Structure 1
Amino acid sequence: MNFLPAHVFYAQLNKTVAAAGALITDPEGRVLLVKPNYRDHWGWPGGHVDEHETPDQACAREVTEEVGLTLPVGRLLVVHWVAPRDDRPIPLIHFLFDCGEVPGDEEIILQEEELDEYRFFEPSEAAALLPGHLAKRLLASLTARSQGSTIYLT
């Protein structure tokens, strides 16, 4: 049998980008969102998964880098397959983890190179600030947290 060398086989496969984010709330159930300076919309703390990093490791790293919090990365709430778009020509797989609740007076230190602002928002207010696919992910994460489940979105 003639097998393709592994490097040739893998070079032919579809590529995807992996990213991870954190659902963090305050005692009133408000959702922590951050405003990146490189996008026109809000999002939650998180980012792309680096080489040799698992999605939960990426989540923990990004939360520490972006908002200065060291939180346990809890249960996976949402896995979201996002098809290619004009600004991203390859698919994205986003993992959203439950990183729990922080006191309202918890000191948040923004990563000033990437972020302009943070705030805790009521879920409906947060969803209104997000593009449709991110609002869908946020609402699914809150449902998954309340049900003790994981939700797969497309």
Structure 2
Amino acid sequence: MGTPTPDDPEAWAAYLAEGNARQARKRVAADVVIKDPAGRILVVNPGYKPGWDLPGGMAEANEAPEMAARRELREELGLEMHTRGLLVVDWVPPHGPWDDQLAFIFDGGVISVDQANSLLPHDAELIEAAMLAPADARQLLRTRLLPRYDAALAALNDGQPRYLNDGRPIS
């Protein structure tokens, strides 16, 4: 018996489902760079891990990365916004107990001074949020995030999204 074909829709669907079940699954992280009119960058301090982060988080099953970023902003900070484009995609290899992942950073645009001044964590995942000068934000961010952060700022400056492999540019 050979491989099913689309001529037998039931057998074809079962064949595709079996193949899908065997495919690798990727974790997906989706963060956002958000600025205020003074050029300060929003960073957040998660209570469940050491170090500061960009706002965002992990995508849920079958959730698009930009939708995950928007959901996380709404849940954690009460911010309703649209992303303005892709800045970075980084393939992160397995590390510690974690499988590999794709880490996205999106451009969240510029929020108003009033929005920036009223930012407060809306759930228990975050301890605090702050708008900081880019260099000051960089000092607080987790070391593993720094190459993505630097690439995101470069992409904001020149309009060219970056693809990284474990934080390193692919030439």
TM-score by length of 2: 0.82
- Quote the offset at 1:132 in angstroms: 2.6
Instruction: Tell me how many residue pairs correspond in the alignment.
Output: 153
Cα–Cα, structure 1 residues 53 and 14, in superposed 2: closer, same or farther, change >3 Å? closer
Select 2:124's aligned residue among 110, 113, 118: 113
Aligned match of 2:59? 49
Q: Distance in 2 between matches of 1:117 and 1:93?
A: 26
Alignment RMSD: 1.7
- Is 1:128–1:135's contact at 8 Å kept on the other side of the alignment? no
Q: What SS does structure 2 have at the residue aligned with 1:94?
A: strand
Q: Distance in 2 between matches of 1:16 and 1:29?
A: 33
Aligned match of 1:6? 16
- Is 2:75–2:123's contact at 8 Å kept on the other side of the alignment? no
User: Relative to total residues, which structure has the larger helix share, 1 or 2?
Assistant: 2
Over alpha carbons, which structure has the higher Rg? Answer: 2
Aligned match of 1:98? 107
Structure 2 stretches lacking a partner, 5+ long:
5-13, 166-171
Q: What SS does structure 2 have at the residue aligned with 1:5?
A: helix
Structure 1 stretches lacking a partner, 5+ long:
none
Aligned match of 2:44? 34
Aligned match of 1:73? 83
Q: Distance in 2 between matches of 1:143 and 1:53?
A: 27
1:92-135, Cα deviation, whole Å (9 max, x unpaired)? 10111101111233122312311100111221222222233311
Identity %: 34
1:52-84, Cα deviation, whole Å (9 max, x unpaired)? 321111111111111111112111000111111
What letter is aligned with 2:149?
L
Q: Distance in 1 between matches of 2:22 and 2:63?
A: 23
What does residue range 137-152 of structure 1 map to in structure 2 within 5 Å?
Answer: 137-152=148-163
Q: What SS does structure 2 have at the residue aligned with 1:109?
A: coil
More displaced 10-residue stretch of structure 1: 74-83 or 1-10: 1-10
Q: Distance in 2 between matches of 1:95 and 1:11?
A: 24
Q: Distance in 2 between matches of 1:112 and 1:17?
A: 23
Select 1:131's aligned residue among 128, 139, 142: 142
Q: What SS does structure 1 have at the residue aligned with 2:114?
A: coil
Q: What SS does structure 2 have at the residue aligned with 1:125?
A: helix
